[in-house]
Amino acid sequence: MTDPAPDTDATLLVCCEDRPGLVAALAQGLYGLGANILDASQHTDPVAGKFFQRIRFDYSELAGRGVSPPSLDRLEAAIGLVAERHGMSWSLRYGAEKKRVAIFVSRTDHCLYDLLLRHRAGELTCEIPLIVSNHEKLRPVAEQFDIPFHCFPVTPATKPKVEEKQIALLREQRIDLVVLARYMQILSEDFTSAFASQIINIHHSFLPAFAGGRPYHQAYERGVKRIGATAHYATGDLDEGPIIEQDVIAVSHRDSPADLVRKGRDVERAVLSRAVQYHLEDRVLVYDNKTVVFD
């Protein structure tokens, strides 16, 4: 992982149909404006015929080429021209702009504590303006970290109205990323569509194995020798969204379902935090219900 981006760093993500000259076109366009490329990674999917690139660059010298921070209009216009010429979809984020993250939880606190401690230690460069839950149990954790806590009790009858209120709150708070840190509610398609590729869920199994409820118990009944966790973007299809990160640990016939739950928590914490960090550092591109995750 790289250190947090200074105020004059920016990260460009690009996706398009693969063709010759794409790397050169982007590099020359940035060079012509006086940008200094700090890191560049690209990937081509030969089956899909897709090209992907992540470029992190320093724009502190752009003012000498007639570009005036902080508007940077000419920089974005120049990138837009290259993108239009080559049919690229692209996004650009400035390092000075911290993403705003909302954490959704229910009653389980291990993933919540891990994220908050990593954030306090400076490992996750973002703002966390709120924690949302369907229970009051974890309010003391939010208070411990001095983060506003919003409780929305949910029943099948009230769920549509509750989600409307949650979406309104997230938009009011200008939230860029929602992290489902063991939030034990299935989000509707309306909710996931409102924040497409902006909701990361941690599922306590190595998907596609043991999707749905009680995966550790399913694993116990199947007698598996490895259990895992999967961080993925949430979509309208339960546990079917694009996978960002996964990991496994060994278990044995001696382990009870409770043992699997206990051992699995360590994997869940690590996998979720890595996925959140990848997203915050703009290392993830989504396509065809899959992801490219740049090193």
Q: Distance between CA 149 and CA 140 in Å, rounded?
A: 9
Residues β-bridged to residue 36: 58
Peptide bond into 242 cis (omega under 30): no
In the chain, % of residues over pLDDT 90 = 86
Residues 6 or more apart from 161 whose CB is under 8 A from it? none
Specify the range with the lowest mean pLDDT, choosing from 63-72, 145-154, 249-258: 63-72
Give the model's pLDDT for residue 218: 94
The sign one gets for the Cα dihedral 141, 146, 147, 149 is: positive
Architecture of the domain whose range is 9-94: 2-Layer Sandwich (3.30)
Phi, psi of 53 (to 5 degrees): -150, 145
H helices of 92-248, where? 110-120, 139-144, 159-172, 189-194, 215-222
Six-digit token string for 44:
């081509």
Give the model's pLDDT for residue 8: 85
Q: What pTM was estimated for this model as a whole?
A: 0.92
Q: Over the stretch 86-95, which tens digit does the pLDDT of each residue have?
A: 999 999 999 8
Give the model's pLDDT for residue 62: 76
100-293 CATH pick, 3.40.800.20, 3.40.50.300, 3.30.43.10, 3.40.50.170: 3.40.50.170
Residues 6 or more apart from 152 whose CB is under 8 A from it? 132, 133, 134, 162, 165, 166
Contact 279, 121 (CB under 8 A): no
Peptide bond into 70 cis (omega under 30): yes
Q: Over the stretch 215-250, which tens digit does the pLDDT of each residue have?
A: 999 999 999 999 999 999 999 998 999 999 999 999
Provide the residue type at 150 as one letter: H
Among 173, 203, 201, smallest CA distance to 187 is for 201
In the chain, % of residues over pLDDT 70 = 95
Q: Any idea where the domains of the chain sit in the sequence?
A: 9-94, 100-293
Does 182 score more than 90 pLDDT? yes
Would strands 100-105 and 50-58 be described as parallel, antiparallel, or unpaired? Answer: unpaired
> Fold match between 9-94 and 100-293?
no
Residues 6 or more apart from 49 whose CB is under 8 A from it? 17, 18
Six-digit token string for 283:
């290392």
Instruction: Kindly list the catalytic residues.
Output: 239
Distances (CA, A) of 134 to 126, 131, 233: 24, 10, 20
Q: Distance between CA 138 and CA 152 in Å, rounded?
A: 13
